[in-house]
Structure 1
């Protein structure tokens, strides 16, 4: 190779770029070699490789296999057809005691010849590489001047079996079987089958992404779900031209179905690489924050969690609904920065069992990634045992714990300088905020969130600005992403409502005092010139 590439700094979810960038001569090879050069003791070890089936997936897998052989790995496990969901990859790493894994995905981002591609490295616990490793990888990308690659024919990814090439064993495995068997150890498949056979209708939208084969095997073949209600189940390189993000915008077809007159009983969707989820009951959308709380409160109904929870963890911007469950259960509650890697230490140390974040990710200690199908199956297990509708379960939960109204307002592509100025001015005001009256709310306290990891003692500072109000309402401000398109300001708003008679308000109406306080305290309009958010979720 002629030179290093200056733009290979991985984020929490690895390196994500447009496909044409990864297609530049030597670009993909330089990044993979930088990963391998940052690891010690790989000689003879096992590496897991798989992806979400997006455009350029197969080509990069062939490159990664050849490079793994040249760098001394003894065995590679690769998903048939190049397919492997992110949680399934995490499970394969753990089950086979692999050294680590390469996950080729850009998650919920669009796919295609000019769209997104990504490469992420996961460590031996099955979770995303921690910052010390990603920092070492980036440092190596800045000085790398060569890569190692073996010369042998392409591996037939469509044929399972064990092959040998370049002095390395290459095992092409069914991407679904091991994961499906793990799910059967966690959930009562007999109870779910009985529910479905009794006429309970389940709809699932795989969004032409990685979970299609998983849904066919688990939901249809093992649990008896009507295959006509499993939509978009064939993985496509461009996700059918759609955005594989399970939210109310991109999964609108499912939402409309579930809100219609002939709605199935339960609906769900997953994203590009299978780690996010959308939960919709008949006539009820369950927010990710609420879903985390309800899964935690009912997890004991599933065989894998009948012994109870060791603790619950949530990302800081996620609502406090799960905190009330943890308090009632008498278990630890952990509030971490955004990013699944922060849950890894807690899970490994046995400090929490279930964790989640407001951006549609929930999971447990069965793997070290968020897991979309896991959340769907736990919901089905709860529904099968309680024999209530999703709407009844949601209302019962609100009656017991109160309802936490919650929303996120995104202001996209703001001038970076203006976004930074807003955050700095807001933080500068914190010293005088306590006791201030803002409309009908009174500020209790404000801070810049810092996380002290209770396992390794590390500290992560400046993870978002928090404003707490008397009575339990909260505002959070975070900047997400900078670059040529500027920055995205995310404003998270929540308000707890214990009065059951007030649980049927429209969310934005219920949050109106908090929304007003956000503008008053942060001066969003003044600093950004925006009269309204770009996206409301």
Structure 2
């Protein structure tokens, strides 16, 4: 039986680049989750008898939200609702299931790399039938509905036992609780040479994978320590916890400092790697050398043909605008497509669906390919392992040879987190106002070749996305980029990206921050960061 109750809208339920994210306490308000999920349901047509995939990263409030989604999806008329056991599904695993099952779509309960626990963050994201995040026209419609939603519809049914694999009827819908790892592992076995990687581990290759007490623990244990034969203990922090064990589940050099220190130690493993809260980001550190996400994308694109799933070569590469131009040089050398898109994985979906690109990446530790429509942290780690197994060289050797071949992009991101929104918006407005006068201006040895507010025209569907970040492009190939992030839940996060290309191999051994020192100083002065934000130093440097 379907129960219908009245409701009134909440303000501010506007999905960002990765769905709706707020503090847990906001989502715990009566009807808050319900209103947003109902707004999603109200924007979906043709769901009668269709399949919906549901899962999340196991963070606090995950299970309660899933029960609401199940009852509302059943009331909407979905015929089958597929849920990961324990409510667990990594974001790339959810994307794979949507595609494999030809599902109508999916709802992912996650705030990705944001902290968890009762005082942490929560999020809800809708993915469409290709497995990717909903495009802007869908999220805009959902937001519009949140402003007018007036009734909530639920199937009257008890909670589903999320810990027992099997099927349960909820009204007219069959709820199937499944092993969250099996289908994803099967996909990985089609892409990579598991025998070759097993032989690598058998030869004495050592690895440490930090799952950060987040969703990829079960996946990494099953694949790395199970199927690939890595020694027990290779995966650490492998049990998903509602508060991520107190960790900040963002795989960067600040929040994964213990892993970085291990990689730089005398007894370092051959590879250290990590993934984030929902499994879509990755960190790659070789013995004595940390690989930036931008460089990782370029190296993977250059070597993907070594993996059996990409043996025929790749059609192209896409990168988010703030990502360094390292991948562009690989694409130019290989004569394949290169696309520069706004930040947000949804912008890669059309390119992947059209076959214009095979591998995509963004500087915020996200890399993926056409196997799903989300970035995929464990996939990136497995591709690195397959390349290492094929080449039998160290991470450092492979990266340094890549720099010698293509040149090096010294690259860093400086984040100013939770700054006052008013000051951050004023800073961006000031930069946009200064753009017309910047072209041709000199700052010491640096000459501005061009300056703009990045806009993207989608070559597949013809849509336009404007105001995606301020770019200052210098004549020597250096870049400064400013944008406000849409992934935080408090105040604003100003991200400043600093990029310098150096062709000369003799100059490839510099410390990154030293190599970028003049650009870093200019980035702060040019935008008036201290004046607008009150911050003299960034919160995080990656």
TM-score by length of 2: 0.96
- Among candidates 366, 386, 403, match of residue 408 of structure 2: 403
Inter-partner Cα distance in structure 2 for 1:332 and 1:342: 15
Q: CA deviation at 1:531?
A: 2.7
Q: Does 1:356 align with 2:373?
A: no
Tell which deviates more after alignment, 511-520 or 207-216: 511-520
Q: Does 1:279 align with 2:300?
A: no
Pair 243,412 (structure 1): closer, same or farther in 2 beyond 3 Å: closer
Tell which deviates more after alignment, 132-141 or 397-406: 132-141
Inter-partner Cα distance in structure 1 for 2:507 and 2:122: 45
Q: CA deviation at 1:480?
A: 2.8
SS at match of 1:227: coil
Inter-partner Cα distance in structure 1 for 2:249 and 2:334: 36
Pair 24,417 (structure 1): closer, same or farther in 2 beyond 3 Å: closer
Q: CA deviation at 1:308?
A: 0.8
Residues 363-394 of structure 1 show CA distances to partners (whole Å, capped at 9, x for unaligned) of: 00000000000000000000000000001001
The answer (yes or no) to whether the contact 1:441–1:513 under 8 Å persists in 2 is no
Pair 293,58 (structure 1): closer, same or farther in 2 beyond 3 Å: same
Q: CA deviation at 1:106?
A: 0.8
Report how many aligned residue pairs link the two structures.
537
The answer for the alignment partner of 2:350 in structure 1 is: 345
The answer (yes or no) to whether the contact 1:202–1:267 under 8 Å persists in 2 is yes
Q: How does 1:508-523 map to 2 (within 5 A)?
A: 508-523=513-528
Q: Does 1:372 align with 2:377?
A: yes
Inter-partner Cα distance in structure 2 for 1:486 and 1:43: 40
The answer for the alignment partner of 2:206 in structure 1 is: 201
Pair 200,5 (structure 1): closer, same or farther in 2 beyond 3 Å: same
- Among candidates 171, 184, 209, match of residue 166 of structure 1: 171
Pair 68,523 (structure 1): closer, same or farther in 2 beyond 3 Å: closer
The answer (yes or no) to whether the contact 2:23–2:489 under 8 Å persists in 1 is no
Q: CA deviation at 1:486?
A: 4.2
The answer for the alignment partner of 2:272 in structure 1 is: 267
Inter-partner Cα distance in structure 2 for 1:363 and 1:431: 36
Inter-partner Cα distance in structure 1 for 2:253 and 2:197: 26
Residues 474-513 of structure 1 show CA distances to partners (whole Å, capped at 9, x for unaligned) of: 1111123599954332211111111111111111110122
Q: CA deviation at 1:146?
A: 1.3
Q: Does 1:75 align with 2:89?
A: no
The answer for the alignment partner of 2:61 in structure 1 is: 56
The answer for the alignment partner of 1:127 in structure 2 is: 132
TM-score by length of 1: 0.97
Inter-partner Cα distance in structure 2 for 1:18 and 1:474: 34
Tell which deviates more after alignment, 130-139 or 207-216: 130-139
Pair 421,64 (structure 1): closer, same or farther in 2 beyond 3 Å: closer
Pair 167,210 (structure 1): closer, same or farther in 2 beyond 3 Å: same
- Among candidates 426, 443, 456, match of residue 421 of structure 1: 426
Pair 479,93 (structure 1): closer, same or farther in 2 beyond 3 Å: same
SS at match of 1:468: strand
The answer (yes or no) to whether the contact 1:440–1:513 under 8 Å persists in 2 is no
Inter-partner Cα distance in structure 2 for 1:427 and 1:146: 42
Pair 481,369 (structure 1): closer, same or farther in 2 beyond 3 Å: closer
The answer for the alignment partner of 1:308 in structure 2 is: 313
Tell which deviates more after alignment, 30-39 or 377-386: 30-39
The answer (yes or no) to whether the contact 2:18–2:487 under 8 Å persists in 1 is no
Residues 180-230 of structure 1 show CA distances to partners (whole Å, capped at 9, x for unaligned) of: 000000001111000010000111000110001001110011001112121
Q: Does 1:43 align with 2:48?
A: yes
Q: How does 1:84-95 map to 2 (within 5 A)?
A: 84-95=89-100
Inter-partner Cα distance in structure 2 for 1:19 and 1:67: 20
Inter-partner Cα distance in structure 2 for 1:111 and 1:374: 24
Pair 55,193 (structure 1): closer, same or farther in 2 beyond 3 Å: same
- Among candidates 23, 32, 40, match of residue 27 of structure 1: 32
- Among candidates 326, 330, 343, match of residue 325 of structure 1: 330
Q: Does 1:295 align with 2:303?
A: no
Q: CA deviation at 1:143?
A: 1.3
Q: How does 1:479-494 map to 2 (within 5 A)?
A: 479-480=484-485, 486-494=491-499
Q: How does 1:148-163 map to 2 (within 5 A)?
A: 148-163=153-168
SS at match of 1:147: strand
Q: CA deviation at 1:289?
A: 0.4
RMSD between aligned residues: 1.6
Residue ranges of structure 2 left out of the alignment (5+ in a row)? 1-5
Residues 263-292 of structure 1 show CA distances to partners (whole Å, capped at 9, x for unaligned) of: 111010000100000001111100000000
Inter-partner Cα distance in structure 2 for 1:421 and 1:171: 50
The answer (yes or no) to whether the contact 2:446–2:474 under 8 Å persists in 1 is yes
- Among candidates 472, 477, 481, match of residue 472 of structure 1: 477
Q: CA deviation at 1:38?
A: 0.6
Residues 314-372 of structure 1 show CA distances to partners (whole Å, capped at 9, x for unaligned) of: 00000000000000010110000000000011011111100000000000000000000
The answer (yes or no) to whether the contact 2:85–2:162 under 8 Å persists in 1 is yes
